[in-house]
């Protein structure tokens, strides 16, 4: 478990090195007394335990650690702010999970009715728990956490104006970030390795394409409404089978036997389409009720399709006279995209509960069940956290999969991609990867 401590050498891309030099340059532009700079950060150790040793990699446990620092500096009567947040993780088994990134490196200027934000930043859109359909600015750092909540920093120029009718944001997004995937030694992962080094693009500009987005947010009494539009490279790649090294006879044998040819290194290649996506966010708050909706319409990946996540959260405050608040979450997720391209949660129900203890230790517990009434697949999760003192936080999470059927082989997954056949139970690839994760974070 301690071998991962030896893997402290990070492969940082040229763009990240450029970002680091930019931070030094920015510091030289804004000289100030030492007390004007704010330094903080966190360091964490994480342990994962898999309940079965039959995954596509058969180790039972995995250790990793990460470091995230934060440098802040404001000047001009706090109308200007410089932020630098570097991040690095080292993993025991997966070299692709050992990585570094600049989450933020930006300059924010605040005027009377507008703000400008320039540099590398993270932006979140959305209101629902199940799927963040409208959240499209930042790329998912999937290798870091499988829930898709962690994001890579995105280069941007963002201008925001606050008016009586709402908040309008306009974004120019120069440069594209590819999604990260677990490597051959990662767990959990797909049975076929993702070839991240040879990604393909619809746009001839590839990673240099300049994307754009706009979002209008309005507050109308108890209603919160947001309309958005994004035009650019999709953050969700299609995964295409690499068959260049297969002969027609080998392809025929694969179709017949569902077995990969001996010695064939099967890979799936990410393909990034150019899309246009229009999004809607609605949230209505009334006493203990919060009604939520996220909906999108997207073109560019086959036929235009629509998707939505709608539901509510109801909170019982001071449960049985205690300090505990208990929230009930119900959402329905729908997507009418081609089955081969659709999310595993294209017609699923989410049932969840959130307990907030309102104690000095900020104890919280979130539990959820995603249920597919067609295939009867179930994804079960829980997340809990508690602080110990001012600087230590402990989190315990679990992810489990039920009624998914047997795990498909690499040959079956590769053949399904080749024949463009959607799996009947898309979560079956994770059926042997039930896990519990313990994380300890120290803040400094």
Q: What is the DSSP string of 206-218?
A: GGG-EEEEEEEEE
Query: Which secondary-structure segment (H or E) carries 24?
Result: helix 14-29
What's the whole-number mean pLDDT along residues 126-155? 96
CA-derived radius of gyration, the chain? 23
Q: Which of 361, 366, 367, 365 is nearest to 393 (CA)?
A: 361
Q: Which two tokens stand for residue 193?
A: 């390795």
Q: What is the pLDDT of residues 221-271, one digit of tens each?
A: 999 999 999 999 999 999 999 998 899 999 999 999 999 999 899 999 999
Query: pLDDT averaged over the chain?
Result: 91
The answer to whether 151 and 122 have CB atoms below 8 angstroms apart is yes
User: What proportions of the chain, in percent to the nearest 5, are helix, strand and coil?
Assistant: 15, 50, 40
Q: What is the pLDDT of residues 315-333, one digit of tens each?
A: 999 999 999 999 999 999 9
Distance, CA of 186 to CA of 179 (rounded, Å): 15
pTM attached to this predicted model: 0.88
Question: Does position 2 have pLDDT exceeding 60, yes or no?
Answer: no
Least confident residue range of 43-57, 284-298, 349-363: 43-57
262, HSE (Cβ side, Cα atoms, 13 Å): 0
Break the chain into its structural domains and give their ranges. 3-443
DSSP classification of residue 141 = B
Q: Which two tokens stand for residue 40?
A: 């903080």
Interaxial angle between packed helices 248-257 and 410-418, expressed in degrees from 0 to 180 and rounded to the nearest 10: 120
Question: Does position 18 have pLDDT exceeding 50, yes or no?
Answer: no
Q: What angle is formed at CA 222 by the lines to CA 218 and CA 228, rounded to 5 degrees?
A: 25
Question: Does position 89 have pLDDT exceeding 60, yes or no?
Answer: yes
316, HSE (Cβ side, Cα atoms, 13 Å): 9
3-443 adopts what CATH topology?
A: Porin (2.40.160)
Q: What angle is formed at CA 321 by the lines to CA 319 and CA 327, rounded to 5 degrees?
A: 15
Question: Does position 369 have pLDDT exceeding 70, yes or no?
Answer: yes
Q: In the 3-class helix/strand/coil scheme, how is 71-116 assigned residue by residue? A: EEEEECCCCEEEEEEEEEEEECCCCCCCEEEEEEEEEEEECCCEEE
Give the three-state DSSP class for 158.
Answer: strand
What's the whole-number mean pLDDT along residues 101-105? 98
Q: What is the pLDDT of residues 417-427, one digit of tens each?
A: 999 888 889 99
Q: Beta strands of 250-324 (E only): which ranges?
A: 267-272, 274-286, 289-299, 305-316
pLDDT confidence tier of residue 61, bands split at 50, 70 and 90: very high
What's the whole-number mean pLDDT along residues 377-394? 97
Query: Which secondary-structure segment (H or E) carries 255?
Result: helix 248-257
What integer pLDDT is reported at residue 340 of this predicted model?
Answer: 78
């Amino acid at each position: 478990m301690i071998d991962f401590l030896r893997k402290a050498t990070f492969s940082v891309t040229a763009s990240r090195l450029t970002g680091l030099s930019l931070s030094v340059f920015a510091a030289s532009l804004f000289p100030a007394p030492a007390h004007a700079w704010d330094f903080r950060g966190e360091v964490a150790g994480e342990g994962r335990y898999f309940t079965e040793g039959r995954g596509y990699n058969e180790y039972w446990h995995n250790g990793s650690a990460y470091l995230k620092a934060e440098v802040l500096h404001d000047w001009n009567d706090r109308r200007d702010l410089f932020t630098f947040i570097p991040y690095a993780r080292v993993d025991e088994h997966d070299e692709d999970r050992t990585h570094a990134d600049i989450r933020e490196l930006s300059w924010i200027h605040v005027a009377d009715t507008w703000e400008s934000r320039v540099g590398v930043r993270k932006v979140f859109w959305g209101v629902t728990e199940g799927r963040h359909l409208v959240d499209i600015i930042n790329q998912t750092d999937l290798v870091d956490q499988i829930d898709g909540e962690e994001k890579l920093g995105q280069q941007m120029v963002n201008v925001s104006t606050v008016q009586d009718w709402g908040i309008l944001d306009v974004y120019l997004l120069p440069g594209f970030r590819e999604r990260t995937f677990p490597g051959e030694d990662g767990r959990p992962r797909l049975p076929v390795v993702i070839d991240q080094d040879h990604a393909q693009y619809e746009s001839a500009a590839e990673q240099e394409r300049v994307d754009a987005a706009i979002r209008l947010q309005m507050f109308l009494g108890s209603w919160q409404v947001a309309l958005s539009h994004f035009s650019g490279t999709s953050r969700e790649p299609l995964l295409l089978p690499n068959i260049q090294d297969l002969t027609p006879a080998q392809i025929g044998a694969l179709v017949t036997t569902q077995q990969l040819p001996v010695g064939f290194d099967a890979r799936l290649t990410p393909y990034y389409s150019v899309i246009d996506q229009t999004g809607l966010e609605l949230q209505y708050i009334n006493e203990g009720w919060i009604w939520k909706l996220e909906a999108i319409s997207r073109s560019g990946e086959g036929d235009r399709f629509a998707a939505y996540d709608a539901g509510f959260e109801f909170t019982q405050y001071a449960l049985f006279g205690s300090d505990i608040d208990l929230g009930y979450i119900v959402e329905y997720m729908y997507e009418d995209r081609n089955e081969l391209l659709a999310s595993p949660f294209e017609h699923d129900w989410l049932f969840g509960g959130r307990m907030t203890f309102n104690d000095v230790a900020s104890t919280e517990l979130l539990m959820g069940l995603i249920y597919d009434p067609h295939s009867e697949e179930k994804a079960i999760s829980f997340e809990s956290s508690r602080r110990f003192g001012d600087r230590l936080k402990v989190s315990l999470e679990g992810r489990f999969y039920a009624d998914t059927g047997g795990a498909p082989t690499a040959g079956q997954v590769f053949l399904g991609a080749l024949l463009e056949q959607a799996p009947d139970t898309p979560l079956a690839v994770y059926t042997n990867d039930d896990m519990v994760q313990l994380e300890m974070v120290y803040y400094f």
